[in-house]
Structure formats: structure tokens, C-alpha cells
Amino acid sequence: METVIILVFVFGYLAITLEHNIKIDKLIPALVMMAISWALISLGIDDFSQWFDSAKHSLMENFDGLGHEEKMHLMEETLLHHLGKTAEILVFLLGAMTIVEIIDYFDGFSTIKSAVKFNSRKKLLWMFCGLAFGLSAIIDNLTATIVLISILQKIVKDRDIRIWYAGLIIIAANAGGAFSPIGDVTTTMLWIGDKVSTGKLFVYLFIPSLLCMVIPTFIASLLKPFKGELELQPDDGKPRNKYSSTMLFLGLGAIIFVPIFKVITHLPPYVGMMLSLGVVAIFAEIYSNSKFAISASVYGVHDVHASHSPVHYSLSKIELPSILFFLGILMAVAALESLGILFGFADSLKENVGLIGTEPAGTVVSDLVVLLLGVGSAVIDNVPLVAASLGMFSEPLDNQLWHFIAYSAGTGGSMLIIGSAAGVVAMGMEKIDFFWYLKKIAWLALVGFLAGALAFMATRAIF
């Protein structure tokens, strides 16, 4: 039965990787393989010889001796445990996405567009890459990419030039997301899973992430597409919302407040995110002069009045397919973890590849393995790779292994346009060809990835 479940996962994983070829959204195979995997576990619960206790992070010693009812009860408890951990991530992301959409509702990001008063290609490159690096650490790399490419489309007229900027924005956004606990889904997973702390994540990964952005940007600035001046789009003449700047800084400040809230209260991050969303929503409702009542939806007039509420409008704009994809993939990986498959794979990996003695207990996996994880995240989605690593390794909070995984999984996806959420969304917004990106941008991403990895090793040796 274990073999069947592994095959379900492999075929589902393959369908996710080939979503652009088979024309099926990746959320569909993710949800299907999650449901089938847990159904097979339920049907064959008596055939399994081991069970992984997620709370104690070890294999149960007496699983074989349990009766059918006890095993079913244990499976239900385990499923509920994983659903709770997954829900923490999903609710956190829903809050962050809604805040960003509220900022956009008030045209907050026009503040950034208004700062472009020059037409130097090189200056514009550094400006957008710097913004991508900084914004992705605050509003996550996916959202930062959407925002900046949207602004780019309003500034740069020539698409052939614009896709070059988009390619470097992908690299910069993924680099910026790696050192922040709220900058990338995978880093958020490690943070919520108590594998990394905000302070240590910044200390270990800021310089590697910065180099991962700066070096490709510097090399690109010497290339032909970024020399000379470019033709800017004319101003659309639309008046700016008078609250645009206020909502931009309020929204970004609210998101930055979340890690501070976690440190002060020791509550899960999603609680702080809900508080931040509530505060931003209060100001949004006041500024919009909305008379909308939430109770109106009960009486069937929701659709009529929803457009008057920035909060309801923003909730309707968030990327729900991504949320469902994360649900499916995280719960599917949880199925493999519960059967002890990932735990066994980790042990064999450690035995065959070897360890590095940078920790007293010698528990840091070979750098080569983590680098391969980064390369793997370019080929397949980094979310399941990190989810798998959470089930494979039991290293404590702030072990250097987790920081290197956060860097590799976060930045390695830049090497292929389908390797990260930022790349996929840029591909859709600008219709960037897979092979064009592979030829023109991938080598820049590889150089930055390796430079950052070397910087991490140097930083690790110092600290």
C-alpha cells in the first residue's frame, strides 16, 4: 500500500510540474493526490508497520500492537494535527494577501510609480530590483512581483525590453523573500513550524540574499538591453486617491508588525496577521466612506453593495487557487510523513551522503544536498520540497540546516521561470517564453544563487 501511495504522489507531482503542458491547473492534481493518499491510508491502516508521531517527531514504538479502532483514532488525530498546521499557514497568507489588495484598492502602489522621473534603463533596473528585493521581504515575493510588473507595464512601453526587467525582478523578488519570515511561502512554513526565528534568519541570510540580487543585477546592467534610455509610457492622467500613500505605509507597517507581535505574545503568526488585517480594514472602511453593513449579505443584497466595501472587494481579489494548491500539497506531503516514509528517506540520505561537523551533534546535512534542493526547486515547486524537509529532519530551532534550506529553496527557483510562484505569475502577466527565460535569464539566476550560497557558508563559519 505504501508503494501505491508513493506512486500517487509521484504522478500528482509530475502533473503539477507539467501543468503548462497538460493544461490543467496545478491545484487540481494537488487536491486529488491529497485526498487519494489519505483515503488509501484509511483503507489500509492495518497493513502499515510504522507510524510517525508528528508531535514527538519520531516513529511510534508500539504501532503494530494497536487495534484497528485505535489506529483509526490515531490517524484522525494526525490528520487533524496536520490540518491545523496547514491552516496556520493558509490563514496567514489570506490575511497578507487581503492587506495587499486593500492597498491596491486605494491605488497605494501609485506612490512608487510617481517616483520614476527618469528614463535611464540602468537606473530603472536598479530601482525595480531594489524595490523587488525590499518589497518581497514585506509583502512576499509573489505579491511584490505582481505589483512591480503591473507598475512596469504602466511605465515601459516596449515589451521586448519589459520582459528583461521582469526576468530580473523575479530573481530580486525571490532573493528578498528568502531572508524574511513573511517573504516567501517556504520561509513562512519554516518560521511557523518553529524551525527558524526572525532574528537569526536575517543574520544568516540577509547578506547571501543581497548578493543573490546584486550580482545578477550588476551583470545585467552591463548587457545591451539595459544600456541607453527607453521610451516611457505617457501618464494616464487619472487623479490619485488622496489616501494612497497613507494606505501604502499603513498596510506595509501592519505586515511588518506581525513578527514583532509574535515575539511579544508568543502566539502563532496568523493571530498577529488577523490583528493587522483588522486595523487596516478599519481605516479602509473609514476612508472609503462606506455605508455597507456586513449583515446585509444575510438578506441577499451582498452583491449590490460589495463594491462599496474595500474589504469585501479585496477579499474577492485574493488568489484562492494558490491557497487551495498549498492545502493540497502540504496535506499530501503530510500523508507521506505520517507513514514514516520521509523519516526513512532522511536517514538513508544522511547515511549515504554524509554529514558536516559544524554542529556538536553533527546533524547538518551535506551542503551539496541542500544545494541540490535549490536546483530541484527550479524544476519542481519549492513548497513540497520544503514541506518534505520538515518531515525528514528533526534539527532544532535555528539550526543552520534550516537557514540553508530557506535560502536554497527560496532563491533556487529563479533558475527556471516555472520554478517559483514569482516566475509563474510573471510568465502569465508578460507571456514570457520558457526557453527565452532559460537562455537569457537562467544563467544570471545561477550565478546569483551560487554567490549567495558561498556567502552563506562564509557567514555560517563566522557565526
Q: 347 pLDDT band (50/70/90 cuts)?
A: low
**Quick one: pLDDT band at residue 343, thresholds 50, 70, 90?**
low
Q: Within 10 Å of residue 356's Cβ, how many Cβ atoms?
A: 15
Q: What is the pLDDT of residue 345?
A: 63
- 168-182, 216-230, 300-314, 446-460 — which is least confidently predicted? 300-314
Angle at 299 between CA 295 and CA 304, to 5 degrees: 85
> 57 near 50, Cβ under 8 Å?
no
pLDDT band at 9 (very low <50, low <70, confident <90, very high): confident
Whether 357 has a pLDDT exceeding 50, the answer reads no
CA distance linking residue 76 with residue 79, whole number of Å: 5
- pLDDT bin (cut points 50, 70, 90) of residue 322 is confident
Question: 49: which 3 cell numbers?
Answer: 508497520
**Cell digits for 74?**
490515531
Query: Could you identify the residue written with the cell 538591453?
Result: 225
pLDDT at site 415 = 92
Give the range among 67-71, 376-380, 456-460 with minimum mean pLDDT.
Answer: 376-380
Could you tell me which residues are beta bridge partners of residue 120?
A: 229
pTM here is 0.71
pLDDT digits (tens, 9 = 90+) for 390-427: 767 778 888 888 999 999 988 998 998 877 878 877 87
pLDDT tens digit string along 41-69? 999 888 888 887 766 666 777 887 788 88
Q: How confident is the model at residue 36 (pLDDT cuts 50, 70, 90)?
A: very high
Pairing of strands 58-59, 355-356: unpaired
401 to each of 26, 353, 397, how far by Cα in Å? 29, 15, 10
Backbone angles phi, psi at 229, to 5 degrees: -115, 160
pLDDT of 120-166, one tens digit each?
A: 889 999 999 999 999 888 878 877 887 888 788 778 878 888 999 99
pLDDT of residue 384: 67
Mean pLDDT over each residue of the chain, to the nearest integer: 81
Assess whether pLDDT exceeds 70 at residue 169: yes
DSSP 294: G
Q: How confident is the model at residue 220 (pLDDT cuts 50, 70, 90)?
A: very high
First-to-last alpha carbon distance for the chain, in angstroms, is 46
Which distant-in-sequence residues (6+ apart) come within 8 Å of 70 by Cβ?
A: none
Residues 6 or more apart whose Cβ sits within 8 Å of residue 67: none
* More confident site: 263 or 133: 133
Determine the pLDDT at residue 97: 81
Q: How does DSSP classify residue 46?
A: G
- Distance in angstroms (rounded) separating the CA atoms of residues 426 and 326: 19
Query: In the chain, pLDDT over 90 holds for what percent of residues?
Result: 24
Burial of 235 (0-12, 13-18, 19+ CB in 10 A): exposed
Instruction: Return the number of other C-beta atoms located less than 10 Å from residue 238's C-beta.
Output: 8
Share of the chain above pLDDT 70, in %: 85
388 and 349 in contact (C-beta within 8 Å)? no
Q: Could you tell me which of 438, 432, 348 has the C-alpha nearest to residue 163?
A: 432
Tell me the CA distances in angstroms from 127 to 104, 148, 222, 236, 282, one per residue in order. 20, 11, 15, 22, 32
CA 318, CA 39: separation in Å to the nearest integer?
A: 30
Amino acid making up residue 426 = A
**Cell representation of residue 117:** 522621473
Residues 285 and 422: their CA atoms lie apart, in Å, by 30
Q: For residue 328, what is the DSSP state?
A: H
pLDDT, mean of residues 184-201: 87
What does each C-alpha distance from 224 to 164, 213, 228 come to in angstroms? 11, 19, 9
How far apart (Å, rounded) are the C-alpha atoms in residues 117 and 127?
A: 12
CA 234 to chain centroid: 34
- Examine the pLDDT at 186 and tell me if it is beyond 70: yes
Per-residue cell: 98: 487581503
Is residue 204 a contact partner of residue 403, using CB atoms and an 8 Å limit?
Answer: yes
Mean pLDDT is lowest, of 104-118, 245-259, 326-340, 359-373, for 359-373
Q: Give the pLDDT of residue 344.
A: 65
Rounded-to-integer distance, Cα 352 and Cα 242, Å = 62
The span from the CA of 433 to the CA of 311, in Å, is 36
pLDDT of residue 349: 58
- Give the Cα separation of 53 and 339 in Å (integer): 9
**Burial of 317 per CB tally in 10 Å (0-12, 13-18, 19+):** middle
Long-range contacts of 70-78 (CB under 8 A, 24+ apart): 71/45, 71/46, 72/42, 72/45, 75/41, 75/42, 75/45, 75/338, 78/51, 78/54, 78/338
